[in-house]
């Protein structure tokens, strides 16, 4: 009987802040030269050597940039194995988990030459090499002779198997790309076009945006209990009693979820309080107000104008309640439909709207409420799944963005299942 062939899987780890063409070329050459089944691109969740994340992309943004960069390559796969660990992520833990879950697989951990010279400083280097073959790529400023000597030194010291990868070297780094963006220089061709568009759309490394967000955070700190109380009294005039009680429930639930998941509590309270501030406006008036204030209305929204309370609510939150924080306004905008790659605050308000204490009719509420305090992405997936199941026989009632959100969070769920989480 023929012996079953072992799988050969490459791992490209890193913060990918942002992912660039050097990462992709390295992954492709490793796949080609080593005969790999696939290459996992594994963003680090909380790397211990990069604890200062100021001026960097958020975790969800880094994941989305990786997804966009590799989506057209059938043998590249996004792995979230390090994105949900408790505490700091260490390579040896990740590899030991993978080996335990997939004993029939040989892993090839791909690094640059610079990382090899720091390998002695890594946590548990011997345990790392016990779980994988280390694949080392050359760099322009490192001679082949010096690299071979370092490979020989590490392999003998830790009894490991190291492979030097023969690959074209593009001497580019994520740090340099961030610096160029800060200086207003072009990064065209250094990142995939989809990634470039995503960076510009979300102003991820925009120094001016960072200053604006810092001012917004300072503003949020001034929203104390008294200010929030004034907002509540003002809002009460525009909502019926049931809707107002629901709104208070969403506000308190949002604050609780923010505490559980490390989000700004003030922002969560304000977004939760104002999420339905346009809910009780008659549908015809919603359409009229959107037209008067140049808010875009899709054909689907024209046929289902009740959905307009979300984007109209964000508009009123800014104009009537003085909220300028874009994160809060987006959380209000997407609290009904959701969207792919939601921010943490958007997830919190979306979930809080579904699970607040006065909600009774949604299916599996006890399960979803418990999950909300454990894992936001999984909770979003379960809510969207139940929502689409409920509307399954009425497809004309499901907005396109909701379907896209479901597909996005279903893919995250499936990846976790494949990785044995």
Looking at the DSSP assignment, which residues form a beta bridge with residue 136? 111, 164
Q: Which domain CATH number covers 33?
A: 3.40.50.620
Instruction: Estimate the crossing angle of helix 308-319 against helix 326-333, to 10 degrees.
Output: 150
- Which one of 205, 236, 263 terminates a domain? 205
User: Is there a domain that residue 2 lies in?
Assistant: no
Query: Are the C-beta atoms of residues 287 and 302 closer than 8 Å to each other?
Result: yes
Find the angle CA(300)-CA(336)-CA(70) to the nearest 5 degrees.
85
Chain-centroid distance of CA 234 in Å reads 35
If you compute the radius of gyration of the chain from its CA atoms, what whole number of angstroms results? 24
The count of structural domains within the chain is 2
Sole residue written with tokens 């959107």 = 290
* Cα→Cα distances 255→1, 197, 311, Å: 61, 33, 22
DSSP-derived secondary structure letter, 84: S
User: Is there a domain that residue 351 lies in?
Assistant: yes
Q: Are residues 217 and 328 in the same domain?
A: yes
Sole residue written with tokens 């001012």 = 215
User: Is there a domain that residue 31 lies in?
Assistant: yes
User: Is there a domain that residue 278 lies in?
Assistant: yes
Q: Print the domain residue range for 105.
A: 7-205
* Per-residue pLDDT tens over the stretch 198-238: 999 888 888 665 555 555 555 555 566 668 888 999 999 99
Count CA atoms within 13 Å of residue 337 on its CB side: 23
User: Is there a domain that residue 335 lies in?
Assistant: yes
Q: Please say whether the dihedral angle defined by the alpha carbons of residues 249, 320, 212 and 173, taken in this order, is positive or negative.
A: positive
Confidence of residue 1 (pLDDT cuts 50, 70, 90): very low
Q: Is the pTM higher than 0.75? A: no
Q: Are residues 198 and 252 in the same domain?
A: no
Whether 84 shows a pLDDT value over 70: the answer reads: no
Q: Are residues 125 and 63 in the same domain?
A: yes
What's the whole-number mean pLDDT along residues 270-274? 96
Residue 129 has a pLDDT of 96
Q: Are residues 407 and 350 in the same domain?
A: yes
Residue 421 has a pLDDT of 47
Token pair belonging to 60 = 């969800």
Confidence of residue 182 (pLDDT cuts 50, 70, 90): confident
For 264, list phi and psi in degrees, rounded to 5.
-65, 120
DSSP-derived secondary structure letter, 88: S
Q: Are residues 312 and 216 in the same domain?
A: yes
- Which one of 149, 173, 205 terminates a domain? 205
Q: How far, in Å, CA of 360 to CA of 332, rounded? A: 22
Query: Are the C-beta atoms of residues 121 and 151 closer than 8 Å to each other?
Result: no
Q: Are residues 189 and 146 in the same domain?
A: yes
Q: Which domain CATH number covers 413?
A: 1.10.3210.10
* Per-residue pLDDT tens over the stretch 14-49: 999 999 999 999 999 999 999 999 999 999 876 555
Query: Are the C-beta atoms of residues 264 and 276 closer than 8 Å to each other?
Result: no
What's the whole-number mean pLDDT along residues 96-110? 94
Token pair belonging to 373 = 């305090």
Q: How far, in Å, CA of 387 to CA of 375, rounded? A: 18
Residue 156 has a pLDDT of 95
User: Is there a domain that residue 1 lies in?
Assistant: no
Q: Are residues 131 and 236 in the same domain?
A: no
Q: How far, in Å, CA of 176 to CA of 220, rounded? A: 33
Q: Are residues 178 and 225 in the same domain?
A: no
User: Is there a domain that residue 323 lies in?
Assistant: yes
Query: Are the C-beta atoms of residues 247 and 239 closer than 8 Å to each other?
Result: yes
Q: Please say whether the dihedral angle defined by the alpha carbons of residues 158, 36, 141 and 70, taken in this order, is positive or negative.
A: negative
Average pLDDT, the chain: 88
Q: What DSSP string runs through 356-410?
A: STT--SSTTHHHHHHHHTT-HHHHHHHHHHHHHHHTTT-GGGS-HHHHHHHHHHH
Q: Are residues 119 and 198 in the same domain?
A: yes
Token pair belonging to 354 = 């579904």
Residue 17 has a pLDDT of 94
Count CA atoms within 13 Å of residue 97 on its CB side: 15
What's the whole-number mean pLDDT along residues 80-109? 85
Q: Are residues 226 and 155 in the same domain?
A: no
Task: With CA atoms as reference, report the closest residue to 202 among 190, 186, 213.
Answer: 213
Show Cβ contacts of residue 118 under 8 Å, excluding neighbours closer than 6 positions. Answer: none
Q: Are residues 122 and 178 in the same domain?
A: yes
Neighbours of 25 (CB within 10 A): 16
pLDDT cut 90: percent of the chain above it: 64
Of the listed ranges 55-59, 197-201, 262-266, 401-405, the one predicted with least confidence: 55-59
DSSP-derived secondary structure letter, 306: G
* Per-residue pLDDT tens over the stretch 136-160: 987 655 678 888 999 999 999 999 9
Q: How far, in Å, CA of 311 to CA of 50, rounded? A: 37
Q: Are residues 105 and 127 in the same domain?
A: yes
- Which one of 205, 222, 238 terminates a domain? 205
Strand, coil or helix: 420: coil
Task: With CA atoms as reference, report the closest residue to 27 among 17, 38, 16.
Answer: 38
Token pair belonging to 271 = 């977004």
User: Is there a domain that residue 116 lies in?
Assistant: yes
* Per-residue pLDDT tens over the stretch 378-420: 999 999 999 888 776 565 667 889 989 999 899 888 877 776 5
Higher pLDDT, residue 214 or 79: 79
């Amino acid at each position: 009987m023929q012996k079953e062939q072992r799988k050969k899987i490459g791992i490209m780890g890193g913060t990918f802040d942002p992912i660039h063409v050097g990462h992709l070329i390295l992954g492709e050459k490793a796949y080609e030269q080593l005969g790999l089944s696939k290459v996992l691109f594994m963003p680090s969740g909380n790397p211990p050597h990069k604890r200062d994340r100021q001026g960097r992309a958020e975790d969800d943004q880094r994941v989305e940039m990786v997804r966009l960069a590799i989506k057209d390559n059938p043998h590249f796969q996004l792995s979230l194995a390090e994105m949900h660990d408790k505490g700091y992520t260490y390579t040896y833990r990740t590899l030991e988990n993978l080996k335990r879950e997939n004993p029939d697989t040989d892993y090839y951990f791909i690094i640059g030459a610079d990382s090899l010279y720091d390998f002695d400083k890594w946590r548990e280097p011997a345990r790392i090499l016990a779980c994988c073959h280390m694949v080392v790529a050359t760099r322009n400023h490192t001679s082949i002779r010096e690299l071979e000597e370092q490979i020989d030194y590490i392999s003998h010291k830790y009894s490991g198997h190291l492979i030097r990868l023969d690959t074209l070297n593009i001497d580019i780094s994520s740090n340099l790309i961030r610096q160029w963006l800060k200086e207003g220089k072009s990064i065209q061709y250094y990142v995939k076009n989809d990634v470039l568009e995503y960076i510009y759309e979300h102003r991820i490394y925009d120094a001016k945006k960072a200053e604006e967000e810092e001012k917004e955070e300072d503003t949020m700190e001034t929203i104390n209990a008294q200010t929030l109380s004034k907002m509540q009294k003002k809002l009460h005039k525009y909502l019926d009693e049931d809707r107002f009680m629901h709104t208070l429930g969403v506000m308190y639930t949002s604050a609780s979820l923010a505490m559980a998941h490390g989000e700004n509590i003030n922002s969560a309270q304000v977004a939760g309080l104002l999420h339905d501030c346009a809910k009780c406006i008659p549908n015809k008036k919603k359409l009229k107000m959107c037209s008067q204030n140049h808010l875009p209305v899709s054909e689907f929204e024209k046929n289902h104008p009740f959905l307009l309370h979300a984007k109209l609510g964000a508009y009123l939150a800014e104009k009537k309640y003085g909220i300028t924080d874009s994160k809060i306004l987006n959380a209000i905008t997407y609290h009904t439909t959701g969207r792919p790659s939601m921010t943490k605050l958007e997830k919190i308000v979306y979930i809080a709207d579904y699970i607040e204490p006065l909600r009774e009719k949604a299916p599996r509420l006890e399960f979803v409420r418990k999950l909300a305090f454990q894992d936001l992405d999984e909770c979003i997936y379960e809510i969207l799944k139940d929502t689409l199941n409920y509307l399954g026989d009425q497809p004309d009632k499901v907005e396109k963005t909701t379907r896209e959100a479901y597909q996005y969070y279903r893919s995250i769920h499936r990846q976790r299942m494949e990785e044995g989480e």
